[in-house]
Amino acid sequence: MLREQFEDEQEAKAVLQCVMSKANSEVAQWRTKYETDAIQPTEELEVAKKKLATRLQEAEEQIGVHSFKCASLEKTKQRLQGEVLAEWKQKYREGQTELE
């Protein structure tokens, strides 16, 4: 009777080891699937995020440069308009003096 119980326990142990082996195999498959399906795209997203951050910084720098150029051109425009207006006022006065 003790021998039968021992053999039954050995049989149950073998079955449980088989089940445990299958479960470990399944865990390994799920781990691999997680690593390929979840982690790699996350890494790709991080790389894309860094690229976009770099492009954004470059665009912001270009905006700064173009804003400076725009302000400089606006000042030049104002100065030239003042010069042209002064020149035409002078010509107007000269024309008025000639008419008198």
Name the DSSP class of 100: -
What's the pLDDT tens digit per position in 66-95?
999 999 999 999 999 999 999 999 999 999
Confidence category of residue 35, pLDDT binned at 50, 70, 90 = confident
Distance CA 16, CA 24 (A): 12
The model carries a pTM of 0.51
Distance CA 68, CA 10 (A): 85
